[in-house]
Amino acid sequence: MAPAADREGYWGSTTSTLDWCEENYAVTWYIAEFWNTVSNLIMIIPPIFGAIQSVRDGLEKRYIASYLALTVVGMGSWCFHMTLKYEMQLLDELPMIYSCCIFVYCMFECFKMKNSVNYHLLFILVLFSLIVTTVYLKVKEPVFHQVMYGMLVFTLVLRSIYIVTWVYPWLRGLGYTSLGIFLLGFLLWNIDNIFCDSLRNFRKKMPPIISVATQFHAWWHILTGLGSYLHILFSLYTRTLYLKYRPKVKFLFGIWPVILFEPLRKH
């Protein structure tokens, strides 16, 4: 039998341009990268509830779109890591660009009149998405996608720092927590890529529970999923403060953060 890293399973040979450090089909014949797959649940389930709550609260559609976009990224990543097929890779990577564009729009429109639409910014972000999509489908170079995604994240970081420095300093805790968790995930993503051979050798010698804990790409999903969710809360908190609501961060079951608020009562 071939080593775990080279096993083939239900979905056949790999066609994606990336194959991560987790050993393929090591847990089940039906899922290529088991831990990299199931770790996406954090990007699928909580944002769905966030979108439902946003509809109930009558929030602007862009925040509903933010939650749903994060869910789409999670579902695309699930399909990619489950199959390691190129088409599923696109379903993961391209929505990362689109969701970040939605996040950027929300962050730059948080100090505008309610239900206003910035058509110029919309045009720029849609055009950016189309250009990235077209070029990426042509060149199929993962580094290009990573650089474009990094540019969007960097834009969000700068905007967030501006808000917590000059506008709402008391939101530093939420803003920097979101950023810190995301950066920790990015650090583990790099460790997983750079030290893959060492990690695989280490896993062979360790008990299963220790081996699972070193699946750093799965941790990337968990941490960036949580960081992205917290970013949406940060963006939403900023927006509802500007609209003179009374937002508060509450923790469901003492662990999961949500935003509750009361609209400003009209006299």
| 77 within 8 A of 18, measured Cβ to Cβ | no
217 is in an annotated binding site: yes
| 236 within 8 A of 259, measured Cβ to Cβ | yes
| 77 within 8 A of 40, measured Cβ to Cβ | yes
81 is in an annotated binding site: yes
33 is in an annotated binding site: yes
6 is in an annotated binding site: no
22 is in an annotated binding site: yes
| 48 within 8 A of 71, measured Cβ to Cβ | yes
Compute the CA torsion angle 178, 125, 218, 26 (nearest 10 deg).
Answer: 170
Count of C-beta atoms within a 10 Å radius of residue 201: 11
**Which residues are annotated as part of the binding site for Ca(2+)?**
19-20, 22, 24, 33
**Which residues are annotated as part of the binding site?**
19-20, 22, 24, 33, 81, 217, 221
**Which residues are annotated as part of the binding site for Zn(2+)?**
81, 217, 221
